[in-house]
Chain A
Amino acid sequence: MILAFDWTQLAQQIVIGLASGGVWATLAVALVLIYRSTGVINFAQGEMAMFSTFIAWSLVNHGFSYWAAFVLTVAISFAGGVAVERAVIRPVERAPVLTVVIVTLGLFFVVNGAARWIWSPETRSLPNAFSTRPITVAGVAFSISDLGTIAVSLAAVALLWAFFRFTKLGLASRAAAVNPDASRLVGVRVTWMLALGWGLAAAMGAVSGMLTAPALASFDQNLMQPVLLYAFAGAVLGGIDSPLGAVVGSLLLGVLINLIGTYVNWVGTDLRLPVALAVILGVLLVRPAGLFGRPMETRV
């Protein structure tokens, strides 16, 4: 029985799951950043990442080198994220949470529509930062690009951790998220901390888009829509306030979906997503804060 089981296929599907999950990981980190600063899920995060991807493409198309375009796009996206927060989120800071959620839904359509209006809907491609040469180890195939994608998301998490832990700005940002009123009293510009959160998230989203487009081999305005749900699920699985959790959760989700789709025949490919989501909900029922999240205590 053990010999008849195709272990190589299992290993291959796990590796593929990690590769897929790695693609969502950076977007999941972006969602976590917004949640930590503003307390909502930004439904427009994927579309903003897609918009950044188009900016990168335009730069490359106009002759910029890949890395110059990369850095420039991250910078532009950061500024864009700050601008969005100032223009559209700040006015509803004190409004009920649902109002902010609806604003992000509106933003989803605005950004998507803008991207369709500015760039034609044809299929495009973005160069890959890493080599796509196939590598086979013990019958299991992958590429440097898969490793690179996961490495970038882990590096981003590490950079964020260092920023929040070791810099004054990071400390102020954390304080503003945890206790805005007390932070104001000690001179923290709380509203600018929110803007910073959105800027960082947008920058992270830009990185996500620029990794996702080559990983999925092509892109158009629909690039991030399926990815958003997976990133959301991965982030919640990992703990919505933990960037590391977002990465680990995404990787786990990728593997879970693949294994369920491969080995549970009734599910096949039609229902892998609903089933995977059901599993996540199961996890949440047992551990509501997610794998790495801090259980939230509510003051009575």
Chain B
Amino acid sequence: MRSRAPGIAVWLLVAAVVLLAYLFAPRFISDFHSRELAGAGVFFIAIVGLNLLTGYTGQISLGHGALMAVGGYTTAALAVHEHWRDVWTIPLAGVAAGIVGFLIGLPALRLSGLYLALATFAFAIAIPSLLKKFSGLTGGSQGLRLLEDAPLQVTGLSGTVTIFGHTMTQNHFLYYLTWGIGLLGFLIAWLLVRGRVGRTFRAVRDSEVAAASVGINLAWTKTLAFALSGVYAGVAGSLLAIQVEIVNPLSFTFLLSILILVGVVVGGLGSLGGMILGALFVQYLPDLSTHVSTAEGAPDFIFGAAIIVVMLLLPTGVGGFLRRLARPLTTRLYLRP
């Protein structure tokens, strides 16, 4: 009982710091940079979700960009075709992507590792073609543009948003919305991971046979993990659509799936703490690459080299690295790292 009190106190302190940072950050950065941070927030949500699937349950997915597309298009289609307000579509976008995630999870029951990678890879590659095919709903290759086709459904169209009496710029609103949902999603994930669901996920990851032999329902667990990570990806996609006010097949290519996976691995598989750094990494790295050089091919080269260097230096990601640092001294002395 006594030894737990400092633990809880530390967590509460961390939570308080994070909350303060969230609430007051826009005071210290420019309006435009709030918008950029909101973009990082989108990645953050998708990465936390994928971590639940890949880091904690051990199921690889190369297709989470496509699940973001499901969420983003759900939001845009509801706004344009059904005249829903953009922010009210977020929950439904999450649910839609969760359902698709569940459906993708079904083959996972029979396939593992490589084959699952191929299946999700194929889904990621197929999604732009599918989006273009059903053009009545999706706007085809031109996609959907909220400002042109549904301006009344856009929050902050006039440039400012008023909530609970506070008036703020649209960029600040996007920041608060995205990171508010992000922190909530993080909290939910943290609670899940600490509890029975998390233990079940980890058991499946570490040894499916052992897990099954203690009565864990593999099918239920895997599909739950897929559905859950799908909800996160869908919400992230929805927030992306709200931020940029468009959806287009070109925004949801395989590159997006790669970026989310890179974010998870750089952040640290199975470590929620590193996810923020993973999100910042994939948000700012491509842009930074073009600042180093705009010679043809150079930005891609630098981007790829940065990824490799980070993986070589921190093979278990930032989270894994931090965990090793935090291990008690005795463990480090007597056991090989």
Q: Which residues of A contact B (CB under 8 A)?
A: 35, 41, 88, 91-92, 94-99, 101-103, 105-118, 120-121, 221, 229, 232-233, 236, 240, 270-271, 273-274, 277-278, 280-281, 284-285, 288, 298, 300
Residues of chain B within 8 A of A232, CB atoms compared: 118, 121
User: Are A236 and B115 in contact, with the CB atoms below 8 A?
Assistant: yes
User: Are A109 and B110 in contact, with the CB atoms below 8 A?
Assistant: no
User: Are A106 and B311 in contact, with the CB atoms below 8 A?
Assistant: yes
User: Are B269 and A98 in contact, with the CB atoms below 8 A?
Assistant: yes
Residues of chain A within 8 A of B107, CB atoms compared: 281, 285
Residues of chain A within 8 A of B119, CB atoms compared: 281, 284
Question: Among B17-25, B186-194, B257-265, which stretch is in contact with chain A?
Answer: B257-265
User: Are A121 and B296 in contact, with the CB atoms below 8 A?
Assistant: yes
Residues of chain B within 8 A of A114, CB atoms compared: 297, 301
Interface size class of B (residues with CB under 8 A): 35 or more
Docked pose: A116 CA to B303 CA in angstroms: 14
Q: Say yes or no: is B132 at the interface (Cβ < 8 Å to chain A).
A: yes
Q: Contacts A102-B311, A281-B122, A285-B110 hold; do A113 and B115 have CB atoms under 8 A apart?
A: no
Residues of chain A within 8 A of B130, CB atoms compared: 271, 274
For B114, give the chain A residue with the smallest CB separation: A240
User: Are A288 and B122 in contact, with the CB atoms below 8 A?
Assistant: no
Docked pose: A99 CA to B129 CA in angstroms: 30
Q: List 21 A-B contacts (CB under 8 A).
A: A95-B315, A98-B60, A99-B311, A99-B315, A105-B261, A105-B262, A109-B301, A109-B303, A109-B304, A113-B297, A113-B298, A118-B297, A229-B122, A229-B125, A233-B122, A270-B129, A270-B133, A274-B126, A278-B122, A281-B122, A300-B209
User: Are A96 and B316 in contact, with the CB atoms below 8 A?
Assistant: yes
Question: Chain A contact residues: over half helix, strand or loop, or mixed?
Answer: helix
Least Cβ distance of B43 to chain A in Å? 15
Q: Contacts A106-B305, A240-B114 hold; do A271 and B297 have CB atoms under 8 A apart?
A: no
User: Are A117 and B298 in contact, with the CB atoms below 8 A?
Assistant: yes
Q: Which residues of B contact A (CB under 8 A)?
A: 54, 60, 107, 110-111, 113-115, 117-119, 121-122, 125-126, 129-130, 132-133, 209, 258, 261-262, 265-266, 269, 295-308, 311-312, 315-316
Residues of chain B within 8 A of A113, CB atoms compared: 297-304
User: Are B133 and A98 in contact, with the CB atoms below 8 A?
Assistant: no
Least Cβ distance of B176 to chain A in Å? 32
Docked pose: A108 CA to B296 CA in angstroms: 16
Residues of chain A within 8 A of B295, CB atoms compared: 117
Contact of B133 among A118, A120, A271 (CB under 8 A): A271
Residues of chain B within 8 A of A101, CB atoms compared: 60, 117, 261
Q: 4 closest A-B pairs (Cβ-Cβ)?
A: A116-B297, A109-B304, A113-B301, A106-B307
Residues of chain A within 8 A of B117, CB atoms compared: 41, 101
Q: A110-B300, A271-B129 are in contact. List 5 more A-B contacts (CB 8 A).
A: A95-B316, A107-B308, A117-B296, A229-B121, A233-B118
How many residue-residue contacts, CB under 8 A, span A and B?
A: 144
Residues of chain A within 8 A of B315, CB atoms compared: 91-92, 94-96, 99
Least Cβ distance of A261 to chain B in Å? 12
Least Cβ distance of B207 to chain A in Å? 8
Residues of chain A within 8 A of B266, CB atoms compared: 102
Residues of chain B within 8 A of A120, CB atoms compared: 296
Docked pose: A101 CA to B303 CA in angstroms: 16
For A106, give the chain B residue with the smallest CB separation: B307
Docked pose: A270 CA to B303 CA in angstroms: 32
Q: Contacts A96-B316, A99-B316, A273-B125 hold; do A236 and B298 have CB atoms under 8 A apart?
A: no
Least Cβ distance of A48 to chain B in Å? 13
Q: Contacts A91-B312, A271-B129, A273-B125 hold; do A107 and B304 have CB atoms under 8 A apart?
A: yes
Residues of chain B within 8 A of A121, CB atoms compared: 296
User: Are A288 and B133 in contact, with the CB atoms below 8 A?
Assistant: no
Contact of A110 among B114, B269, B308, B316 (CB under 8 A): B308
For A268, give the chain B residue with the smallest CB separation: B133
Residues of chain B within 8 A of A35, CB atoms compared: 114
Residues of chain A within 8 A of B316, CB atoms compared: 95-96, 99
Contact of A274 among B110, B129, B303 (CB under 8 A): B129
Q: Contacts A99-B265, A236-B118, A288-B110 hold; do A108 and B126 have CB atoms under 8 A apart?
A: no
Q: Contacts A98-B60, A117-B297 hold; do A284 and B115 have CB atoms under 8 A apart?
A: yes
Residues of chain A within 8 A of B265, CB atoms compared: 98-99, 102
For B54, give the chain A residue with the smallest CB separation: A98
Least Cβ distance of B145 to chain A in Å? 22
User: Are A285 and B311 in contact, with the CB atoms below 8 A?
Assistant: no
For A290, give the chain B residue with the smallest CB separation: B115
Residues of chain A within 8 A of B262, CB atoms compared: 102, 105-106
Docked pose: A284 CA to B215 CA in angstroms: 27
Residues of chain A within 8 A of B118, CB atoms compared: 232-233, 236, 280-281, 284
- Residue picked from A98, A109, A270, A288, most chain B C-beta under 10 Å: A109
